[in-house]
């Protein structure tokens, strides 16, 4: 029997997912596999929504944001009867291997299938950078770049008007987008989920910056879901001479053409995923650590919080 692999993207989309689909497809075709693209994540797997891929099926997508296969969140995939339907759909086209591209929710779905005998490899792709088993996930570099560009613009106008910009960024339960962006825009304050949020400390710092350091303007970068940025901006207006303004960057952070780092990472990880499958490895996820492509048991990456970049955080605090 020939070798047949499916590839899907699941969870929140991330720039570079297309580059990963392309790398998986081309690498698998080069190794003699039949390849199917699966539409809309695990939903498409359950519905048998498959597209037979040839080399040119993935032409012209390397530089495109989003995922041309579509993505979805499917919490019901936790149910065994749903997983069994997906496996039956896979069997109907002799698909016995799967590459899942996404975050830890995607890994969980893949892991459940691996336990049932499907060969599965996970590729980390989420702007949140919250996946264990890799230093960087596909999409993070592009979102980070988008945030830095946006905050640079906010700084121009905020500096002209003696204002404080309070900017909400994505990240879910991971502060990396706020931390890395905060360092690169010279933010005065960052608010991240890895630390307890203390409003009085933030306001005291803003007063100090205003009255003692005589700062012309200020930037606060906050990870989503921790603080009401409109409320915080108002409070900063109340206790300092800055006029506070809130900006929620929202889904703009998920879009855009992937930056070269994401394209390269996606290409390296996509190829490695197929290499692992070809060597009979399953239930693993690929990643990058100290510039080396690595693989880890998927279970080690599921439902675990990533460690905080304490070094970067300390540097930020020293310079702010
Ligand atoms: O996981 C990526 C992410 O963009 C998070 O940063 C954010 O909390 C969430 O997805 C938003 O999800 P949705 O697009 O479903 O609103």
Do 231 and 168 lie in one domain? The reply is: yes
Do 80 and 161 lie in one domain? The reply is: no
316 lies in a domain?
A: no
- Whether residue 75 contacts residue 81, with contact meaning beta carbons closer than 8 Å, is answered with no
CATH number of the CATH domain containing 182: 3.40.50.460
Do 93 and 166 lie in one domain? The reply is: no
CATH number of the CATH domain containing 103: 3.40.50.450
More confident of the two residues 305 and 92: 92
Active site residues: 128
- Whether residue 166 contacts residue 244, with contact meaning beta carbons closer than 8 Å, is answered with yes
Q: Is the shortest distance between the CB of 171 and ligand 1 below 6 Å?
A: yes
Rg of the chain taking only CA atoms, in angstroms: 22
Do 44 and 147 lie in one domain? The reply is: no
Q: Is the shortest distance between the CB of 72 and ligand 1 below 6 Å?
A: no
pLDDT digits 0-9 by tens, 168-188: 999 999 999 999 999 999 999
Q: How far is the CA of 10 from the centre of ligand 1 (A)?
A: 12
Do 115 and 60 lie in one domain? The reply is: yes
Do 106 and 178 lie in one domain? The reply is: no
Strand, helix or coil at 35? strand
Closest ligand 1 atom number to CA of residue 127: 2
Closest CA relative to residue 127, chosen from 146, 150, 108: 146
The pLDDT, as a whole number, for residue 106 is: 96
Closest ligand 1 atom number to CA of residue 253: 4
The pLDDT, as a whole number, for residue 307 is: 84
Do 249 and 270 lie in one domain? The reply is: no
Could you say which of 197, 222, 255 is where a domain stops? 255
Do 239 and 262 lie in one domain? The reply is: no
- Give, in order, the Cα–Cα distances in Å from 136 to each of 17, 34, 159, 185, 190: 14, 29, 32, 20, 20
The pLDDT, as a whole number, for residue 61 is: 98
pLDDT digits 0-9 by tens, 188-221: 999 999 999 999 999 999 999 999 999 999 999 9
Do 54 and 129 lie in one domain? The reply is: yes
319 lies in a domain?
A: no
Mean pLDDT of the 236-248 span: 98
To the nearest 10°, report the CA torsion of 17, 20, 21, 22: 120
- Whose alpha carbon is nearest atom 14 of ligand 1? 12
The pLDDT, as a whole number, for residue 303 is: 74
Q: Is the shortest distance between the CB of 254 and ligand 1 below 6 Å?
A: yes
Q: Is the shortest distance between the CB of 174 and ligand 1 below 6 Å?
A: no
pLDDT digits 0-9 by tens, 67-108: 999 999 999 999 999 999 999 999 999 999 999 999 999 999
Cα angle: 68, vertex 90, 105; to 5 degrees: 60
Do 69 and 175 lie in one domain? The reply is: no
Q: How far is the CA of 12 from the centre of ligand 1 (A)?
A: 6
| Strands lying side by side in the sheet with 163-169 | 189-191, 218-223, 163-169, 243-248
Closest ligand 1 atom number to CA of residue 130: 1
Do 9 and 134 lie in one domain? The reply is: yes
**Would you say the pTM of this structure is higher than 0.75?**
yes
315 lies in a domain?
A: no
**Contacts of 256 by beta carbon, 8 Å cutoff, 6+ apart:** 15, 65, 142, 146
Q: How far is the CA of 213 from the centre of ligand 1 (A)?
A: 37
Do 135 and 268 lie in one domain? The reply is: yes
Number of domains the chain is built from: 2
Q: Is the shortest distance between the CB of 176 and ligand 1 below 6 Å?
A: no
H or E stretch including 273? helix 260-278
Q: Is the shortest distance between the CB of 286 and ligand 1 below 6 Å?
A: no
Query: Domain residues for 112?
Result: 4-139+258-303
318 lies in a domain?
A: no
The per-residue DSSP string of 29-45 comes to HHTTEEEEEETTHHHHH
Could you say which of 255, 288, 311 is where a domain stops? 255
């Amino acid at each position: 029997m020939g070798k047949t692999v499916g590839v899907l993207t699941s969870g929140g989309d991330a720039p570079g997912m297309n580059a990963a689909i392309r790398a998986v497809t081309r690498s698998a075709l080069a190794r003699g596999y039949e390849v199917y693209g699966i539409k809309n994540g695990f939903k498409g797997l359950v519905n048998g929504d498959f597209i037979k891929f040839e080399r040119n099926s993935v032409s012209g997508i390397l530089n495109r944001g989003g995922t041309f296969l579509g993505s979805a969140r499917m919490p019901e995939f936790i149910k065994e009867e749903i997983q069994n339907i997906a496996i039956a759909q896979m069997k109907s086209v002799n698909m016995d291997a799967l590459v899942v591209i996404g975050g830890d929710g995607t890994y969980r779905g893949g892991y459940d299938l691996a336990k049932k005998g499907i060969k599965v490899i996970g590729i980390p792709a989420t702007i949140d950078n919250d996946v264990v088993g890799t230093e960087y996930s596909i999409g993070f570099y592009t979102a980070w770049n988008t945030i830095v560009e946006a905050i640079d613009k906010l700084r121009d106008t905020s500096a002209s008007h003696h204002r404080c910009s309070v900017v909400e960024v994505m990240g879910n339960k991971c502060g990396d987008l706020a931390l890395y962006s905060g360092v690169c825009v010279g933010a005065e304050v960052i608010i991240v989920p890895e630390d307890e949020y203390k409003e009085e400390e933030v306001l005291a710092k803003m007063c100090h910056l205003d009255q003692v350091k005589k700062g012309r303007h200020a930037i606060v970068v906050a990870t989503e879901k921790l603080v009401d940025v409109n409320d915080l901006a108002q409070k900063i207006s109340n206790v300092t001479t800055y006029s506070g303004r809130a900006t929620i960057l929202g889904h703009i952070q998920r879009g855009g053409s992937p930056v070269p780092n994401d394209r390269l990472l996606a290409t390296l990880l996509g190829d490695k995923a197929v290499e692992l499958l070809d060597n009979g490895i399953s239930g693993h996820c690929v990643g990058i650590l100290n510039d080396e492509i690595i693989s880890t048991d998927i279970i080690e990456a599921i439902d675990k919080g990533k460690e905080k970049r304490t070094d970067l955080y300390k540097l930020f605090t020293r310079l702010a």
